[in-house]
Amino acid sequence: MLPQAPQRDLSDGRERLRLLLDVNNAVVSNLSLKDLLFAVSGWLRKLIPLDFASMVIKDEETGMLKIHALDSPVPGGVLGEGSVVPLEGTPPGIAMATRQTVMRDRIDFKEFYSPIIREAYNAGLRCGCSVPLICHDQVLGTINVGSLREAAFTQKDAELLEQIAGQVAIAVQNAINFERAERALRELTVLKNKLVSEKLYLEEEIQTEYNFEEIIGQSSALKKILQQVATVAPTDSAVLLCGETGTGKELIARAIHNLSNRRERTLVKLNCAAIPTGLLESELFGHEKGAFTGAIAQRVGRFELANKGTLLLDEVGEIPLDLQPKLLRVLQEHEFERLGSSRTIKTDARMIAATNVDLPQMVAEKKFRSDLYYRFNVFPITIPALRERVDDIPLLIGYFAQKHALRMNKRIDRIEKDTVDALCSYPWPGNVRELENFMERSVILSSGSELQAPLGELKLTTSIPVVVSQTLPGPRSLEDVERQHIVETLEQTRGVIGGKGGAAEILGLPTSTLRNRMKKLGLK
């Protein structure tokens, strides 16, 4: 039990005035509710025989009453700071509801039926007084005093508390405003960091050279794909884009995003094969400062950037097995944690996955999780290779010729029919990307208004003897033509696959993709 200060005669106006001035000074000098309560209760003890003092404040978000500051001889337990006080069956709740002081000489369990009152009684509380804290006609909470003795407080004590409550309410309102401002500042800081990350990402996107700006073609194969895009775009379902490298998977992903309800938000993309394995998790989910060596600042991940938008994960077959369960959790639960943080972040990102490998085969070989594959494979779209939509090649030839001529400040008015026929008969293993590279080279070589295409390069690659494990008689399939083309390119580079001047660069393919194609075609 705390020692009780000798009670003074409250009828002495000077003592009351002095106490109010002291409380006013405490109010002015203390922004913390806890410090404010200790200062106020210290002065009150000189005139009121209190053993307990507390401030109960209504939480703005939950609407519940919580003890925000406590001066008690019994630490912890139900009287601990942060405890929830019910609105019904408690003196603070009744005081807030009626806007009137609630003072009782002894605890009556018929009136105060809340379990927290019984717990307070067991802790030694025998009587109490609760005064509402009202500021600008808004009830913020209550200031409460209690005693270990019954009938410890008088009506004059209650009147003094009411006078003090007016001043304390102003301090509480200031503290609430201060806390609200701090919370808004924290949220603004988080939003600012996210906007900075989005700005950097979009700047990178602007600097990226896209293969082409719009979908070109009128073939039945392309029209079928566009019908599928129009069907799935308005939904939020996951889409799996399958097709060889250079077929335009990113362009189809952009079409899906632009036709969806998320078109006002960002389309965030990540090439899983272009990121080192150790950094892929950080790219996807972000990290906190100091999460690992080299993490000198907080980083927002792609899932967080794509919230309310669309996330395109390209070459998902390159995602390591140990990272796949974490990716599966995001797709199932729509939540994740940054590296180095235990705080769960919600995300509402639409998933579009793209791959140029046979994912079902990888699943069969235990190189890719089947449950993750099924999550990606909600709506599969297989994009045809360029050799499967030959009717679109003349349109693409004209489009790329004008695009690069404009960029180089040239004028291309004519393309010979023999040139178009030759380009249409070529298998284009690198698909649209290879065709665009060839057209760019052709524009560079053209000195006049007629396109001077280096068709000799295409003839050269078909005149070199083919060295494969076995010779197939009769007509050749598209796979045979592709195998022959890769072998001939490797002969030109003396077996060099990657690097500058390697077969991958000539074919317009990533090194990993070329190796996968060679393995599938049985080439060593």
The string of pLDDT tens digits covering residues 26-37 is 666 655 777 777
Note whether residue 414 is domain-resident: yes
Q: Which two tokens stand for residue 326?
A: 């974490």
Asked if 27 and 37 touch (Cβ cutoff 8 Å), the reply is no
Selected residue with higher pLDDT from 276 and 3: 276
Selected residue with higher pLDDT from 435 and 278: 435
Q: Taking 80 as the threshold, does the pLDDT of residue 193 lie above it?
A: no
Question: What is the mean pLDDT of the segment spanning 384-412?
Answer: 90
Q: Which two tokens stand for residue 481?
A: 């033509």
- What is the span of the domain harbouring residue 488? 465-524
Q: Is 301 found in the same domain as 272?
A: yes
**The amino acid at 175:** A
Q: Taking 60 as the threshold, does the pLDDT of residue 210 lie above it?
A: no
Q: Is 393 found in the same domain as 345?
A: no
Q: Is 65 found in the same domain as 53?
A: yes
Beta strands 239-242; 138-147: pairing state: unpaired
Among 343, 365, 382, where does a domain finish? Answer: 382
Q: 293, 290, 286, 247: which is closest to 388 by C-alpha?
A: 247
Asked if 201 and 312 touch (Cβ cutoff 8 Å), the reply is no
Other CB atoms closer than 10 Å to residue 70's CB: what's the count?
Answer: 23
Question: What is the mean pLDDT of the segment spanning 490-509?
Answer: 77
User: In CATH, what number is assigned to the domain containing residue 169?
Assistant: 3.30.450.40
Q: Is 120 found in the same domain as 28?
A: yes
Note whether residue 215 is domain-resident: no
- Quick: pLDDT tens for 52-102: 888 888 887 777 888 877 777 665 544 667 778 888 888 999 999 999 999
User: In CATH, what number is assigned to the domain containing residue 449?
Assistant: 1.10.8.60
431-451: burial string, b at 16+ Cβ within 10 Å, e else: bbbbbbbbbbebbeebeeeeb
Question: What is the mean pLDDT of the segment spanning 489-518?
Answer: 78
Among 180, 199, 231, where does a domain finish? Answer: 180
Q: Is 66 found in the same domain as 34?
A: yes
Q: Is 376 found in the same domain as 426?
A: no
436 vs 253: CA distance, rounded Å: 20
Q: Taking 90 as the threshold, does the pLDDT of residue 195 lie above it?
A: no
The predicted model scores a pTM of 0.53
Q: Is 261 found in the same domain as 369?
A: yes
Note whether residue 143 is domain-resident: yes
- Choice among 11-15, 100-104, 412-416, 506-510 with the minimum mean pLDDT: 11-15
Confidence band of 211 (pLDDT split at 50, 70, 90): very low
Q: Is 411 found in the same domain as 393?
A: yes
Note whether residue 194 is domain-resident: no
End-to-end CA gap in the chain = 88
Among 463, 491, 506, where does a domain finish? Answer: 463
Question: What is the mean pLDDT of the segment spanning 316-339?
Answer: 91
How many CA atoms within 13 Å lie on the side-chain side of 217? 27
Structurally, the chain folds into a number of domains equal to 4
Confidence band of 469 (pLDDT split at 50, 70, 90): very low
Considering Cα of 465, then 471, then 476, then 477, what sign does the dihedral take? negative
Q: Is 346 found in the same domain as 280?
A: yes
Q: Is 232 found in the same domain as 372?
A: yes
The fraction of the chain above a pLDDT of 70, given in percent, is 84
The distance of Cα 483 from the centroid of its chain, to the nearest Å, equals 43
- 357 sits in the region (left: phi over 0; alpha: psi -120 to 50; else beta) called beta
Q: Is 60 found in the same domain as 163?
A: yes
Q: Is 494 found in the same domain as 474?
A: yes
Beta strands 138-147; 52-58: pairing state: antiparallel
What was the pLDDT predicted at 199?
Answer: 62
What was the pLDDT predicted at 295?
Answer: 72
The radius of gyration of the chain from alpha carbons, rounded to an integer in Å, stands at 37
Q: Which two tokens stand for residue 330?
A: 């995001």
- Choice among 48-52, 362-366, 458-462 with the minimum mean pLDDT: 458-462
- 139 sits in the region (left: phi over 0; alpha: psi -120 to 50; else beta) called beta
The distance of Cα 59 from the centroid of its chain, to the nearest Å, equals 28
DSSP 430-484: THHHHHHHHHHHHHHH--SSB----HHHHHHHHHSPP--SSPPPSSPPHHHHHHH
The distance of Cα 40 from the centroid of its chain, to the nearest Å, equals 46
Asked if 142 and 132 touch (Cβ cutoff 8 Å), the reply is yes
- Choice among 103-107, 157-161, 206-210 with the minimum mean pLDDT: 206-210
Angle between helices 155-207 and 13-29 (to 10 degrees): 10
